[in-house]
């Protein structure tokens, strides 16, 4: 089914035969009939529904372009009839006037904080359970609601008759600040609750910045030589307190609800767990990592389970929270000095720590990029011992004014590289080092090969001009070439590459295909068996795909996705070679910068020579005629692979599908066209059944591939 058909179906499901503004043009004033008014509100509801699926459920129901089209349609209609704009319209999220300051908001119910159990071991959970049981005078097992402790900023969202009327920060707990305008720009916060028209319902929760959004924001800032955010928490707090809502709207924020403030006209359920379930039904984002458990051992188990997945979570947490589940028991327990006796935060080791910079070294990357790295007094952060932390680039190091001898804050969260987030200036010693100056430090030369270093105008990085003459770049280029998603040469790790390059055995990737036993067995820690394995892995890598090969070349600005797009667009390496700047920019997402990188790379005689040698050495792939994307057999089709296929690895199946124009997604949604289910397929298969998505078994899938 193509998208147009799907949209038509979607419309007919809603009893809609034609677009909402059908028969009207942007210029003509429109007759405001009852039908028209109800069309606008239906369109608004539809846009809101798709936005909820996208921002809250993380399961898009429409292609982005189609959503944008509906959104613009609504904007146009509202612009023609401003009297029809409602405060809960999705068009009202874009940010209003710049403010002079934030008005104070007195909280109807104070926003309290919770006691923190700093004992990060299981005994912390036990101590809390014992206090609760003592206070209640019972030996019975207590039921608890367990949640994550999100590391962001607390907000109170006030809904009246289901419509968001005010958002306020916690402030001192009694009085906060009115941040309604900024909060309206957060897409996952509903402007209207679904199925709740309580007179007043105040939802409390945490606004946060997801790690990926934080990294992306900082990466873009660094590229533009602009200041970065220290950590996601400061990012969230800073954006919420930003006086220009347009700027706030550019910072990607998210929200999780975890409780209530004032409630009028809504019958409270009996437990905290049921409150969260109800909030979720109303369309509020509630974190799925929650559990209702009984007894201290189960609390400790929750703490352990979440600790094990802390790095893999998409956002920062600094602990978990336990709450007595029964509201009746909560009331019985009451408060001590502004903290409820029925809740506690059980912490994890911090993801930021203080330590001292012993030295600053420069690392040379694959493209010659020079990255200053702080050598640190080893420190335990976010679960591991850290002794190196990136300073990203020269400007960032200067902006933070990091010097040898300084005490700095180091952050390691998730699986990102540890970084220096700032200097504790009060602790700067009298004999601190000089302000950072990369050129001066290196005396203008690459620390590895001695070539001149250059920093082009508008670029944030210094680079070594030595290219593949520079052993550091050569080593990184070889490691990239051999990496799993490129040529996938198993066993070619950094120690081996180091020896091969330093020993003058391998100069370019093409030399790998000339290696024989005699060159390998003399290397350190290389027995006959591992040498044979390596040679077999190199041999195996010869049969590859054009996309992998292009990616493996390590062309600046050409990542895996661009490599796939180039392979699909040009079909053969010779066609890619023949493309000029203009032809390259016809490829999806290839702009002038990427196109120039490709042209520069291929203009280098040395690079072409290596490519020819690789081909001569036996590296090969299937080629096809250059195809306009739409004409590929599976263009516009989305597949999801699940379970184990007997005859094809998942990567290989993905490659074959992509070569035929299909998109291969990680999860099943209404957008999925086919689910390919191998042996032991699990929840994705269930979801496909639920949504009525077409399911192919292995035989059907192979037949489909063979018949295109
Ligand atoms: S409950 C009366 N639950 O931690 C109980 N707080 O001092 C009120 N926080 O700044 C708080 N995750 O913003 C609660 N799942 C969670 C939380 C949470 C983070 C924050 C909260 C406040 C601090 C508690």
pLDDT digits (tens, 9 = 90+) for 384-438: 899 999 999 999 999 999 999 999 999 998 888 999 999 998 899 999 999 999 9
**Closest Cα to atom 3 of ligand 1:** 258
CA distances from 83 to 32, 86, 439 (A): 10, 8, 61
Highest mean pLDDT among 114-123, 530-539, 589-598: 530-539
Determine the pLDDT at residue 661.
Answer: 78
Position 85 pLDDT exceeds 90: no
- Condensed to tens digits (0 to 9), the pLDDT of residues 539-569 reads 999 999 999 999 999 998 999 989 999 998 9
Q: Which atom from ligand 1 is nearest to the alpha carbon of 148?
A: 15
Residues 6+ apart with CB under 8 A from 308: none
For the chain, helix, strand, coil in percent to 5 are 40, 20, 40
- Give the distance (Å) from ligand 1 centre to CA of residue 258: 8
Closest CA to 55 of 188, 210, 231: 188
- Give the distance (Å) from ligand 1 centre to CA of residue 115: 10
Helix spans in 310-404 (H): 327-333, 394-400
Give the tokens for residue 39. 């069309």
CA distances from 522 to 197, 482, 503, 529, 648 (A): 77, 21, 11, 13, 37
Highest mean pLDDT among 60-64, 117-121, 484-488: 484-488
Cα distance between residue 489 and residue 475, in whole Å: 15
**Closest Cα to atom 18 of ligand 1:** 149
Continuous segment of H or E residues that includes residue 386: strand 384-390
Determine the pLDDT at residue 226.
Answer: 86
Mean pLDDT across 59-67: 73
Helix spans in 352-492 (H): 394-400, 438-442, 471-482
Cα distance between residue 295 and residue 588, in whole Å: 55
- Give the distance (Å) from ligand 1 centre to CA of residue 146: 12
Q: Which atom from ligand 1 is nearest to the alpha carbon of 116?
A: 7
First to last CA, the chain: 17
Highest mean pLDDT among 186-190, 456-460, 466-470: 186-190
Cα distance between residue 478 and residue 465, in whole Å: 18
Cα distance between residue 280 and residue 283, in whole Å: 5
Mutate to test the pocket of ligand 1, among 149, 157, 167, 320 (most ligand atoms within 8 A of CB): 149
How many other CB atoms are found less than 10 A from the CB of residue 198? Answer: 17
CA distances from 234 to 39, 231, 251 (A): 42, 6, 12
Highest mean pLDDT among 14-28, 80-94, 260-274: 260-274
**Closest Cα to atom 14 of ligand 1:** 258
205-220: b (≥16 Cβ within 10 Å) or e = bbbbbbbebbeebbee
User: Which residues partner with 665 through β-bridges?
Assistant: 640
- Give the distance (Å) from ligand 1 centre to CA of residue 272: 14
Question: Is-contact 640 684, C-beta < 8 A?
Answer: yes
For 14-28, 100-114, 125-139, which range has the lowest pLDDT when averaged over its residues? 14-28
Residues near ligand 1 (Cβ within 6 A) = 112-114, 147, 149-150, 154, 206, 258-259, 321, 340, 343
Position 505 pLDDT exceeds 70: yes
CA distances from 537 to 414, 509, 518, 641 (A): 32, 14, 17, 26
pLDDT range class, residue 12, cuts 50, 70, 90: very low
Which of these CATH numbers, 2.170.140.10, 2.40.50.140, 3.40.50.2300, 2.170.120.12, describes 352-442? Answer: 2.40.50.140
Mean pLDDT across 646-658: 84
pLDDT range class, residue 11, cuts 50, 70, 90: very low
Highest mean pLDDT among 73-87, 117-131, 271-285, 344-358: 271-285
- Condensed to tens digits (0 to 9), the pLDDT of residues 371-387 reads 999 999 999 998 889 99
Q: Which atom from ligand 1 is nearest to the alpha carbon of 339?
A: 2
CA distances from 284 to 188, 264, 313, 321, 634 (A): 8, 18, 20, 19, 37
pLDDT range class, residue 115, cuts 50, 70, 90: very high
Q: Is the CATH code 1.10.150.20 the one for domain 471-621?
A: yes
CA distances from 372 to 289, 414, 463 (A): 38, 21, 12
Position 681 pLDDT exceeds 90: no
- Give the distance (Å) from ligand 1 centre to CA of residue 113: 6
Catalytic residues: 149
pLDDT range class, residue 163, cuts 50, 70, 90: very high
pLDDT range class, residue 96, cuts 50, 70, 90: low
Cα distance between residue 595 and residue 581, in whole Å: 6
pLDDT range class, residue 36, cuts 50, 70, 90: confident
- Give the distance (Å) from ligand 1 centre to CA of residue 257: 10
- Give the distance (Å) from ligand 1 centre to CA of residue 149: 7
Residues 6+ apart with CB under 8 A from 227: 221, 399
Position 19 pLDDT exceeds 80: no
How many other CB atoms are found less than 10 A from the CB of residue 358? Answer: 14
Of residues 469 and 285, more confidence is placed in 285
Please give the angle made by the CA atoms of 697, 700 and 703, to the nearest 5 degrees: 145
- Half-sphere exposure in the Cβ direction for 154 (13 Å, CA): 20
Cα distance between residue 190 and residue 521, in whole Å: 65
Determine the pLDDT at residue 635.
Answer: 78
DSSP state of 315: S
Position 626 pLDDT exceeds 50: yes
Q: Which atom from ligand 1 is nearest to the alpha carbon of 170?
A: 10
Cα distance between residue 338 and residue 5, in whole Å: 58
Position 32 pLDDT exceeds 70: no
Position 15 pLDDT exceeds 50: no
pLDDT range class, residue 172, cuts 50, 70, 90: confident
Q: Which atom from ligand 1 is nearest to the alpha carbon of 153?
A: 13
Question: Is-contact 186 152, C-beta < 8 A?
Answer: no
Cα distance between residue 53 and residue 47, in whole Å: 10
Please give the angle made by the CA atoms of 544, 550 and 556, to the nearest 5 degrees: 150
- Give the distance (Å) from ligand 1 centre to CA of residue 341: 14
Cα distance between residue 71 and residue 65, in whole Å: 10
Determine the pLDDT at residue 54.
Answer: 77
Helix spans in 638-682 (H): 650-659
E-state strands within 273-348: 291-294, 317-324, 335-336, 339-340, 343-347
**Closest Cα to atom 15 of ligand 1:** 149
Q: Is the dihedral of CA 311, 294, 276, 350 positive or negative?
A: negative
Cα distance between residue 260 and residue 277, in whole Å: 13
Mean pLDDT across 457-473: 89
- Give the distance (Å) from ligand 1 centre to CA of residue 148: 9
- Condensed to tens digits (0 to 9), the pLDDT of residues 207-252 reads 999 999 999 899 888 888 888 998 999 999 989 988 887 787 788 9
Position 5 pLDDT exceeds 70: no
- Condensed to tens digits (0 to 9), the pLDDT of residues 567-584 reads 989 999 999 999 999 899
**Closest Cα to atom 21 of ligand 1:** 154
Cα distance between residue 22 and residue 370, in whole Å: 57
Position 474 pLDDT exceeds 60: yes
Q: Which atom from ligand 1 is nearest to the alpha carbon of 205?
A: 13
Give the tokens for residue 613. 């040698």
Q: Which atom from ligand 1 is nearest to the alpha carbon of 114?
A: 7
Continuous segment of H or E residues that includes residue 517: helix 517-521
DSSP state of 467: G
pLDDT above 70 covers a percentage of the chain that reads 93
Mutate to test the pocket of ligand 1, among 259, 331, 337 (most ligand atoms within 8 A of CB): 259
Radius of gyration from C-alpha coordinates of the chain:
29
Residues 6+ apart with CB under 8 A from 431: 405
Question: Is-contact 544 621, C-beta < 8 A?
Answer: yes
Question: Taking all residues of the chain, what is their mean pLDDT, rounded to a whole number?
Answer: 89
Cα distance between residue 42 and residue 665, in whole Å: 31
Position 671 pLDDT exceeds 60: yes
Cα distance between residue 167 and residue 261, in whole Å: 12
Position 13 pLDDT exceeds 60: no
Give the tokens for residue 74. 């609504």
Closest CA to 272 of 107, 146, 129: 146
Position 22 pLDDT exceeds 60: no
Of residues 571 and 22, more confidence is placed in 571
Sheet holding 694-696, edge to edge: 663-665, 638-642, 674-677, 694-696
Instruction: Tell me the domain boundaries of the chain.
Output: 3-92, 115-347, 352-442, 471-621, 629-706
Q: Is the CATH code 3.40.50.10190 the one for domain 629-706?
A: yes
- Give the distance (Å) from ligand 1 centre to CA of residue 65: 38
Query: Top-level CATH class of 3-92?
Result: mainly alpha
Q: Which atom from ligand 1 is nearest to the alpha carbon of 259?
A: 1
Q: Which atom from ligand 1 is nearest to the alpha carbon of 113?
A: 7
Cα distance between residue 387 and residue 403, in whole Å: 16
Cα distance between residue 268 and residue 278, in whole Å: 10
Position 158 pLDDT exceeds 90: yes
Q: Which atom from ligand 1 is nearest to the alpha carbon of 149?
A: 12
Helix spans in 542-649 (H): 546-552, 560-570, 573-578, 581-584, 592-603, 605-616
In CATH, the architecture of 115-347 is 2-Layer Sandwich (3.30)
Position 625 pLDDT exceeds 80: no
Determine the pLDDT at residue 49.
Answer: 86
Helix spans in 381-456 (H): 394-400, 438-442
**Closest Cα to atom 12 of ligand 1:** 149
Closest CA to 408 of 366, 452, 441, 359: 359
Determine the pLDDT at residue 14.
Answer: 38
Question: Is-contact 463 455, C-beta < 8 A?
Answer: yes
Continuous segment of H or E residues that includes residue 66: helix 64-80
């Amino acid at each position: 089914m193509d998208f147009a058909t799907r949209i038509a179906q979607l419309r007919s499901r809603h009893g809609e035969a034609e677009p909402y503004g059908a028969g009207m043009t942007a210029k003509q004033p429109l007759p405001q009939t009852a039908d028209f008014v109800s069309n606008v509100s239906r369109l608004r509801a539809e846009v809101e529904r798709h936005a909820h699926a996208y921002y809250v459920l993380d399961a898009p129901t429409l292609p982005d372009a189609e959503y944008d089209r509906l959104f613009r349609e609504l904007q146009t209609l509202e612009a023609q009839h401003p009297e029809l704009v409602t405060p809960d319209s999705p068009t009202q999220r874009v940010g209003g006037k710049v403010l002079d300051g934030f008005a104070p908001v007195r909280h109807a119910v104070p926003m309290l904080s919770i006691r923190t159990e700093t004992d990060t071991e299981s005994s912390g959970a036990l101590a809390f359970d014992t206090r609760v049981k003592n206070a209640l005078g019972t030996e019975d097992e207590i039921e608890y609601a367990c949640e994550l402790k999100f590391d962001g900023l607390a907000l109170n969202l006030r809904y009246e008759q289901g419509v968001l009327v005010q958002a306020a920060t916690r402030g001192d707990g009694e009085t906060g600040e009115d941040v309604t305008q900024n909060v309206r720009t957060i897409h996952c916060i509903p402007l209207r609750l679904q199925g709740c028209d309580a007179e007043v319902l105040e939802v409390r929760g945490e606004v946060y910045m997801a790690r990926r959004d934080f990294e992306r924001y900082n990466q873009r800032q660094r590229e533009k030589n602009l200041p970065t955010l220290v950590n996601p928490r400061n990012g969230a707090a800073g954006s919420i307190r930003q006086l220009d809502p347009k700027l706030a709207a550019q910072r990607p924020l998210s929200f999780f609800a975890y409780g209530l403030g004032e409630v009028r006209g809504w019958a409270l359920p009996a437990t905290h767990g049921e409150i969260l379930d109800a909030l979720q039904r109303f369309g509020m984002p509630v974190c799925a990592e929650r559990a209702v458990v009984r007894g201290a051992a189960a609390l400790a188990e929750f703490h352990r389970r979440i600790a094990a997945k802390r790095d893999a979570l998409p956002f920062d947490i600094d602990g978990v929270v336990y709450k007595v589940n029964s509201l009746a028991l909560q009331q019985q327990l009451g408060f001590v000095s502004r903290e409820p006796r029925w809740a506690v935060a059980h912490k994890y080791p911090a993801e930021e720590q203080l330590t001292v910079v012993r030295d600053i070294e420069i690392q040379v990357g694959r493209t010659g990029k020079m990255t200053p790295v702080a050598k640190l007094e080893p420190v335990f952060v976010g679960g591991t011992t850290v002794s190196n932390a990136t300073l990203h680039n020269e400007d960032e190091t200067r902006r933070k004014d990091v010097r040898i001898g300084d005490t700095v804050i180091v952050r390691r969260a998730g699986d990102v590289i540890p970084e220096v987030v700032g200097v504790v200036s009060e602790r700067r010693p009298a004999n601190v080092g000089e302000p950072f100056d990369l050129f001066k430090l290196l005396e203008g030369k690459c620390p590895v090969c001695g070539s001149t270093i250059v920093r082009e105008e508008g670029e944030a990085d210094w680079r070594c001009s030595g290219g593949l003459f520079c052993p550091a770049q050569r080593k990184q280029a070889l490691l990239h070439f051999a990496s799993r998603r490129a040529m996938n040469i198993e066993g070619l790790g950094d120690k081996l590459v180091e020896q091969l390059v330093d020993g003058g055995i391998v100069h370019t990737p093409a030399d790998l295909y000339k290696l024989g036993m005699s060159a390998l067995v003399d290397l350190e820690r290389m027995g006959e068996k591992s040498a044979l394995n390596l040679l077999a892995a190199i041999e195996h890598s010869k049969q590859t795909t054009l996309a992998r090969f292009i990616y493996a070349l390590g062309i600046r600005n050409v990542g895996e996705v661009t490599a796939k797009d180039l392979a699909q667009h040009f079909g053969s390496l010779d066609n890619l070679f023949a493309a000029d700047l203009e032809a390259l920019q016809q490829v999806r997402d290839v702009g002038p910068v990427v196109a120039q990188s490709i042209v520069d790379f291929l203009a280098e005689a040395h690079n072409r020579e290596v490519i020819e040698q690789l081909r001569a050495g036996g590296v090969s792939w299937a080629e096809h005629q250059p195809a306009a994307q739409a004409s590929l057999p599976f263009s516009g089709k989305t597949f999801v692979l699940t379970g184990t296929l007997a005859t094809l690895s998942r990567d290989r199946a993905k490659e074959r599908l992509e070569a035929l124009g299909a998109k291969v997604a990680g999860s099943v949604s209404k957008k999925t066209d086919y689910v390919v289910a191998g042996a032991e397929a699990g929840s994705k298969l269930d979801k496909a059944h639920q949504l009525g998505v077409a399911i192919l078994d292995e035989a059907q899938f192979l037949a489909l591939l063979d018949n295109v």
